[in-house]
Structure 1
Amino acid sequence: MRRILVPTDFSEQAHYAFEVAVNIAKRTGAGIKLLHVVDMPGSSNFSTAGDGGYHDGMEQLFILRLMETTKTKMAKLISKVEHEGVVVVQEVDVDSIVNKIKRVIEADKVDLVVMGSKGSSGMDEFLVGSNTEKVVRVAQCPVLTIKTSNPTFDIKEIVLASNFRREVGKAMDAFKYFQQLFNARLHLVYINTPGAFESSSNLRSKLAHAAEKYDLHNYTINIYNDTIEEDGILHFAEDINADMIMMATHGRTGLSHLLSGSIAEDLVNHTSRPVLTYQI
Structure 2
Amino acid sequence: MRRILVPTDFSDQARNAFEVAVAIAQKTGAAIKLLHVVEMPSSYSFSATGDLVGGNGMEQVYMMKLLENTRYRMAELERTIAHQGVEVVQEVDTDNVIRKIKRVISDDKVDLVVMGSKGSSGMDEFLIGSNTEKVVRTAACPVLTVKGRMPHFNIRNIVLASDFKREIGSAVEKFKYFQHVFGAKLHLVYINTPGAFESTNTLRLRMQTAAERYGLQNFTINVYNDTIEEDGILHFAEEMKADLVMMATHGRTGLSHLLSGSIAEDLVNHSNIPVLTFHLK
Identify whether the pair has TM-score above 0.5, normalized to the shorter chain.
Answer: yes
Q: 2:166 — aligned with what?
A: 166
Q: CA deviation at 1:92?
A: 0.5
State the aligned residue count. 278
**TM value normalised by structure 1:** 0.96
Q: 1:267 — aligned with what?
A: 267
Aligned residues: CA RMSD: 1.2
Runs of 5+ consecutive residues of structure 2 not aligned to the other structure:
none
Q: Tell whether 2:243 aligns with 1:233.
A: no
Q: How does 1:1-280 map to 2 (within 5 A)?
A: 1-42=1-42, 45-47=44-46, 49-50=50-51, 52-53=53-54, 55-280=55-280
Q: Which amino acid letter does the alignment assign opposite residue 139 of structure 2? A: A
SS, match of residue 167 in structure 1: coil
Deviations 1:132-179 (A, max 9, x none): 111101100000000011122111000000011232112000000000
Q: CA deviation at 1:108?
A: 0.7
Q: CA deviation at 1:56?
A: 3.1
Q: Moved runs in structure 1, 4+ residues, more than 6 A?
A: none
2: CA distance between counterparts of 1:141 and 1:151? Answer: 24
* Most deviating of 182-191 and 33-42: 33-42
Q: CA deviation at 1:51?
A: 5.8
Q: Which amino acid letter does the alignment assign opposite residue 191 of structure 2? A: I
Among the aligned pairs, what percent are the same residue?
68
2: CA distance between counterparts of 1:141 and 1:154? Answer: 21
Deviations 1:8-46 (A, max 9, x none): 111111111001000111111100000011123327x42
1: CA distance between counterparts of 2:217 and 2:116? Answer: 30
SS, match of residue 166 in structure 1: coil
Q: CA deviation at 1:114?
A: 0.3
2: CA distance between counterparts of 1:206 and 1:171? Answer: 18
1: CA distance between counterparts of 2:94 and 2:64? Answer: 10
Q: Is the 8 A contact 1:4 1:113 kept in 2?
A: yes
Q: Is the 8 A contact 1:50 1:60 kept in 2?
A: no
* Most deviating of 192-201 and 163-172: 163-172
SS, match of residue 46 in structure 2: coil
2: CA distance between counterparts of 1:30 and 1:64? Answer: 32
Q: Which amino acid letter does the alignment assign opposite residue 79 of structure 1? A: R
Q: Is the 8 A contact 2:52 2:64 kept in 1?
A: no
**TM value normalised by structure 2:** 0.96
Deviations 1:193-247 (A, max 9, x none): 1111100000000000011000000000000011100010011011111111000
SS, match of residue 255 in structure 1: helix
Q: Which amino acid letter does the alignment assign opposite residue 234 of structure 1? A: L
